[in-house]
Amino acid sequence: MERGRGWKWFHYYWNLCKQVGSETYKTWRWELCASVVVSLFVGILNGNWADFRTILLATAMTVGCFVVWHILRVPWLLHKSVQTAEENNDPSVLAGMFGFVVVAALVIGILGLGRVLWSARPLGTIDGRVKTPPVPTIAQTRVVTVQGPCKLTAEQINPARLPQPCPGAPAPTLRDRILAINTHLTEGDRNRFSNALSEFSDSLSQGESLAYKLNAELGSLGRGESDGTIAKEVQQHEKVLSNITAEGWKYQKAFPALRTKWDMFREQNEYIFGDNPDNEGPNAIINVSEAYRNYLEWWNVIPNKDQKPILNLLSVEHNESQAHLSTFFKWQRGCVSRLNEMRNSIR
């Protein structure tokens, strides 16, 4: 069959692959090998395998550009060979297989490059993706003293984080941190924080009133022990202690709910109420009243309760109750002091 005549479509593309393989093999085999060797030396000298892989990819992309040139040039070569009937120049089957591999590699490389470029595409304009954060409103310029040899003005302190201490200065305390935050509260946040402090103060006053009621009952128990009348009044005292416990449970439920309500001022809450507010606050009152009531219930079943040794058994529970109640008063007064400090910091 004369060259080019009677070709089907697959004959044409098979001869196209053979021509591409032949041209690629004749033109760039040594250049490709040289590029790979140079890439290997660069990777060895840099001691970085990532550099070697990058150079290999760049080399492959460069060779791919020449393959594109061959693909564009080969149809003309095929046409020329058909016109001149150069049967002796017909590339071999091996050249066709090599050409097919080269074309397939080019297609895969183009698809891979397209995927990389698609993944790296911008998702939108800068204006659409990044917005300038709002500038915090500073009510007035103040000077905040940080422990150490230097002073920071309000303009030098980032309101979103703790200011960095001066070189050689100790780390800022929680108090320093809270005062710096309060200095930069906006007018709206100051008003909200003021409302929170007012509710905190009411809660502490409620706990104080309940603690004083319990303290008065402990005093009545002490007098009943001293004059021996408690043996006839146990049930009345048990009822009073039960009522105090019931009020304590209501206080215990409302206190953490209040802190959750104002969680936007979490760090201020932690500073005012301390690390263990529930146990040092409402739970302390409940533990005292409920423990004393249980003790009275046990003590009441003892015969001869009007005798001095039996009466003295109440002293043990009485002393422990007074100690636990003192812990509450110490916590409550510390909270009030820190709360007043917070009020002064936002005035």
Non-local CB neighbours of 4 within 8 Å, separated by 6+ positions:
78, 81, 82, 85
The DSSP symbol for 3 reads T
Pairwise pLDDT comparison (9 vs 204), residue with the higher score: 204
Query: Is 90 exceeded by the pLDDT of residue 328?
Result: yes
pLDDT score for 11 = 65
- Mind listing the pLDDT tens digit for each residue in 268-278? 999 999 989 99
**Residue/partner pairs of 220-228 with CB below 8 Å, 24 or more apart:** 221/292, 221/314, 221/318, 222/318, 225/311, 225/312, 225/314, 225/315, 225/318, 228/306, 228/311
- Overall average pLDDT of the 95-101 stretch: 70
Q: Range with the lowest mean pLDDT among 36-40, 102-106, 140-144?
A: 140-144
- Mind listing the pLDDT tens digit for each residue in 275-300? 899 999 999 999 999 999 999 889 88
Residue pair 332/203 in contact (Cβ under 8 Å)? The answer is no
Q: What is the percent of the chain where pLDDT is above 90? A: 33
Residue pair 146/163 in contact (Cβ under 8 Å)? The answer is yes
pLDDT score for 213 = 94
**pTM here?**
0.50
User: Reduced to 3 states, what is the DSSP secondary structure of residue 252?
Assistant: helix
Q: Please name the helix (run of DSSP H) or strand (run of DSSP E) that holds residue 7, with its range, or none.
A: none
Q: Range with the lowest mean pLDDT among 66-75, 133-142, 163-172, 173-182?
A: 133-142
Q: Whole-angstrom Cα distance, residue 141 to residue 14? A: 82
- Overall average pLDDT of the 331-347 stretch: 92
Q: Whole-angstrom Cα distance, residue 246 to residue 28? A: 93
pLDDT tier, 128 (very low <50, low <70, confident <90, very high otherwise) = very low
Residue pair 163/193 in contact (Cβ under 8 Å)? The answer is no
pLDDT score for 126 = 39
First to last CA, the chain: 104
The partner residues of 151 in beta bridges, in order of sequence, read 145
User: Reduced to 3 states, what is the DSSP secondary structure of residue 143?
Assistant: strand
Q: Whole-angstrom Cα distance, residue 303 to residue 64? A: 106
Query: Is 90 exceeded by the pLDDT of residue 53?
Result: no
Comparing CA positions, the residue from 229, 249, 232 lying closest to residue 241 is 249
- Overall average pLDDT of the 172-194 stretch: 89
pLDDT score for 116 = 64
Average pLDDT, rounded, for the chain: 75
- Mind listing the pLDDT tens digit for each residue in 63-93? 666 666 566 666 666 566 655 555 455 667 7
Q: Whole-angstrom Cα distance, residue 220 to residue 231? A: 13
pLDDT score for 168 = 59
Query: Is 50 exceeded by the pLDDT of residue 312?
Result: yes
pLDDT tier, 122 (very low <50, low <70, confident <90, very high otherwise) = very low
Domains, the chain, ordered by start: 9-119 (no CATH), 143-183 (no CATH), 187-345 (1.20.120)
Cα Rg, the chain, nearest whole Å? 44
Q: Whole-angstrom Cα distance, residue 134 to residue 140? A: 18
**How far is CA 230 from each of CA 188, 319, 327, rounded to the nearest angstrom?**
56, 16, 26
Give just the sign of the alpha carbon dihedral 102, 105, 106, 107: positive
Non-local CB neighbours of 45 within 8 Å, separated by 6+ positions:
none
Q: Range with the lowest mean pLDDT among 57-66, 139-148, 209-218, 265-274?
A: 139-148
pLDDT score for 141 = 44
pLDDT tier, 54 (very low <50, low <70, confident <90, very high otherwise) = low
